[in-house]
């Protein structure tokens, strides 16, 4: 694929994706072909030295997990080896949000974002083809809000226009403040125009260099210090409207300047009132500024207060950037945000089979209100289609399975009652992954109608159970609930349970060692904890004659609502080997 063809591919994908790629579209073949061409960029061995491939790898680097980066980067150089490209393709497959569809919608979304970044944030001197605004856009999509710090306020102009010091509004850099509160309350980025393109900066970068240098105790230095503080007050006043982090900074600078201004704005205001000069953003978000020691703050000379304020701001900006690195994912997708989804309880458990392979059982069940479709009239019945793809360690599909069930809706006064569904995935060895999707369809006289809602899950990095026979092994834990009609324990796939519900666990133990008389002896410990607090712990010893044992047990989970962790530990009394499994549940006071 040539560079020209690669750029044309962007255009094809963007045009097609712009027509609601996630709908059941007549352009599906065009989309699939375009995605296949994009994938060929990583598959074609003739393209290993193609500049377009290296550019795309650079664009992908901020999105990739740390586990893949070493295969792509070495000593700050991009590797275009077959191993690197295979890792990228495997990662792309793991990002597919709708595994039952013909295309990878996340890949289409990425291509659209890249094209938008090239069109709106292009940078000819940047290796990726766009500046750092483009990088953030490709990672997180459109910001919730974009604003700018302006410097045309008449009060600011009066404060910084001083004889002998050449500063004007044109000396302040253009900038953009992007906010992603939909991702995290502290997700924001300040971009500074620098040399014709934008980079991520901090608040001190908004100050002209002529104001940041030459501060001192001379008359000129004192004037520059006051000009600098006036500029900072204007900057923080505007940023405080965007995020609470800047509220206390504005308060500090405003109080210091107000105490020295002719109007004496502090006169007649007590300390509580002064502490509220923070703008609406902090107050709306419920943030309370720290109480200031006004006497100590106001006694500082201009140069010292200005320098301390800049140093403090840089430290806070660095801390905020560090927090973003920790809190924010490497990238996000909006594919599922544009689609109606329904809630499902989904759990899985691995079991060892006699042939040495691992079977994964997937239990799923809709939440009570799942079938309500906003804006769509209720129907007497629906069809739920299920799809499962089994993938190898590189996320290459090994096989797929599909199924469908018919759900009849009861009267308005009754709850939907369908049994918990189980899907079996057989023959797993080594490392494997599962991709799942459920589609709710309307039923028409002609048969299955349009898709109304969907749900999807990924179960990644599953490892087949040890079949060697030399090591104690154990299945995953199956949450079980008592079925009143059958008086049996059945799988419970939901993340929650409620008080009064009869709850249990099921699991299997493999490769128990034989002792004298071909007898096995093992101890099972059940522990229920909440955080670091242990609620209960019970141990039971068993003897048997088989290396394989199946256990089912009722458990008392206590009466304290909240998240609880159930851990089951098995100790082989003959070999001394131990193994344990855990699961997490949320305990509610009642079923409602």
Q: What is the pLDDT of residue 279?
A: 36
User: Any idea how long the chain is?
Assistant: 592
Dump pLDDT digits (tens) for 313-333: 999 999 999 999 999 999 999
Residue 475 has pLDDT above 90, yes or no: yes
Mean pLDDT is lowest, of 336-345, 409-418, 451-460, for: 409-418
Place of tokens 């089912």: 552
Q: At what angle do helices 28-43 and 105-120 cross, to 10 degrees?
A: 80
Dump pLDDT digits (tens) for 21-71: 333 333 566 667 777 778 877 876 665 567 778 888 889 999 999 888 888
Report the 3 state secondary structure along 28-55: HHHHHHHHHHHHHHHHCHHHCCCHHHHH
3 state DSSP class of 501: coil
Residue 278 has pLDDT above 60, yes or no: no
Main-chain dihedrals φ then ψ at residue 254, nearest 5 degrees: -65, -40
Q: What is the pLDDT of residue 23?
A: 36
Dump pLDDT digits (tens) for 485-526: 788 889 999 999 988 888 999 999 999 999 988 999 999 999
Task: Give the mean pLDDT of 566-571.
Answer: 96
- If one compares 376 and 400, the residue with the highest pLDDT of the two is 400
Task: Give the mean pLDDT of 170-196.
Answer: 93
Q: What is the pLDDT of residue 55?
A: 87
Dump pLDDT digits (tens) for 259-275: 876 544 444 444 444 44
CA 541 to centroid of chain Cα atoms: 43
Residue 413 has pLDDT above 90, yes or no: no
Average confidence score pLDDT of the chain: 84
3 state DSSP class of 68: coil
Dump pLDDT digits (tens) for 85-135: 888 999 999 999 999 998 899 999 998 899 899 999 999 999 999 999 999
- If one compares 362 and 215, the residue with the highest pLDDT of the two is 362
Helix (H) or strand (E) holding 77: strand 77-78
Main-chain dihedrals φ then ψ at residue 544, nearest 5 degrees: -160, -170
Domain boundary assignment for the chain: 3-140, 145-327, 340-462, 468-592
Strands (E), 90-150: 145-147
CATH number of 340-462: 2.60.40
- If one compares 69 and 415, the residue with the highest pLDDT of the two is 69
Spatial distance between the Cα atoms of 505 and 508, rounded to a whole number of angstroms: 10
Task: Give the mean pLDDT of 367-376.
Answer: 77
Confidence of residue 416 (pLDDT cuts 50, 70, 90): low
Spatial distance between the Cα atoms of 557 and 537, rounded to a whole number of angstroms: 10
Helix (H) or strand (E) holding 255: helix 247-258
Fold agreement between 340-462 and 468-592: yes
Spatial distance between the Cα atoms of 467 and 352, rounded to a whole number of angstroms: 7
Is the domain defined by 468-592 classed in CATH 2.60.40.3880? yes
Rounded to whole angstroms, what are the CA distances from 100 to 26, 76, 104, 397?
17, 37, 10, 12
Q: Cβ distance 237 to 258 under 8 Å?
A: no
Q: Cβ distance 245 to 235 under 8 Å?
A: no
Task: Give the mean pLDDT of 354-375.
Answer: 88
């Amino acid at each position: 694929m040539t560079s020209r063809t690669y750029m044309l591919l962007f255009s094809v994908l963007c045009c097609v994706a712009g027509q609601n790629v996630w709908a059941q579209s007549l352009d599906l073949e065009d989309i699939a072909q375009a995605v296949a061409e994009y994938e060929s960029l990583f598959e074609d061995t003739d393209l290993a030295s193609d500049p377009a491939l290296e550019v795309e790898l650079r664009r992908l680097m901020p999105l990739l997990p740390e586990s893949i980066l070493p295969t792509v980067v070495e000593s700050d150089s991009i590797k275009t080896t077959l191993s690197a490209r295979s890792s990228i393709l495997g990662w792309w497959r793991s990002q597919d949000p709708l595994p039952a569809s013909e295309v990878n919608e996340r890949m289409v979304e990425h291509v659209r974002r890249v094209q938008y970044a090239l069109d709106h944030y292009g940078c000819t001197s940047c290796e990726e083809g766009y500046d750092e605004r483009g990088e953030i856009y490709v990672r997180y999509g459109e910001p919730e809000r974009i604003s700018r710090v302006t410097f045309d306020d008449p009060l600011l102009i009066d404060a910084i226009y001083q004889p002998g010091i050449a500063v004007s509004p044109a000396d302040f850099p253009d900038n953009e403040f992007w906010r992603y509160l939909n991702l995290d309350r502290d997700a924001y980025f300040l971009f500074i125009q620098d040399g014709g393109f934008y980079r991520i900066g901090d608040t001190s970068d908004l100050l002209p260099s002529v104001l940041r240098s030459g501060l001192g105790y001379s008359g000129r230095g004192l004037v520059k210090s006051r000009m600098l503080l006036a500029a900072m007050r204007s900057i923080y006043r505007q940023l405080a409207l965007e995020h609470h982090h800047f509220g206390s900074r504005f308060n500090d600078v405003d109080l210091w300047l107000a105490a020295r201004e002719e109007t004496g704005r502090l006169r007649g205001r007590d300390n509580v009132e002064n502490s509220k000069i923070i703008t609406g953003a902090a107050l709306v978000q419920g943030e309370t500024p720290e109480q200031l020691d006004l006497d100590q703050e106001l006694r500082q000379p201009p140069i010292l207060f200005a320098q301390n304020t800049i140093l403090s701001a840089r430290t806070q900006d660095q801390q905020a950037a560090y927090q973003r690195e920790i809190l924010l994912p490497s990238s996000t997708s909006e594919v599922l945000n544009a689609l109606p989804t329904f809630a499902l309880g989904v759990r899985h458990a691995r079991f060892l089979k006699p042939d040495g392979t691992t079977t994964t059982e997937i239990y799923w069940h809709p939440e009570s209100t799942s079938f309500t479709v906003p804006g769509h009239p209720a129907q007497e019945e629906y069809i739920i289609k299920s799809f499962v793809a089994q993938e190898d360690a590189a996320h290459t599909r090994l096989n797929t399975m599909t199924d469908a069930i018919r759900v009849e809706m009861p009267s308005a006064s009754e709850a939907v009652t369908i049994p918990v569904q189980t899907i079996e995935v057989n023959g797993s060895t080594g490392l494997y992954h599962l991709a799942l999707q459920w589609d709710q369809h309307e039923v028409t006289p002609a048969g299955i109608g349009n898709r109304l809602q969907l749900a999807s899950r990924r179960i990644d990095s599953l490892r087949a159970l040890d079949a060697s026979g030399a090591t104690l092994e154990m299945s995953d834990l199956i949450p079980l609930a008592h079925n009143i009609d059958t008086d049996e324990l059945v799988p419970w796939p939901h993340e929650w349970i409620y008080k009064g519900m009869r709850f249990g666990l099921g699991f299997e133990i493999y490769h128990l060692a034989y002792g004298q008389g071909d007898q096995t002896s093992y101890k099972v410990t059940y522990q229920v904890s909440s955080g670091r607090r242990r609620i209960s712990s019970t141990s039971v010893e068993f003897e048997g004659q088989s290396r394989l044992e199946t256990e089912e047990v009722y458990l008392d989970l206590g009466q304290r609502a909240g998240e609880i962790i159930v851990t089951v530990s098995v100790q082989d009394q003959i070999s001394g080997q131990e193994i344990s499994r855990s699961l997490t549940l949320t305990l509610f006071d009642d079923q409602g």
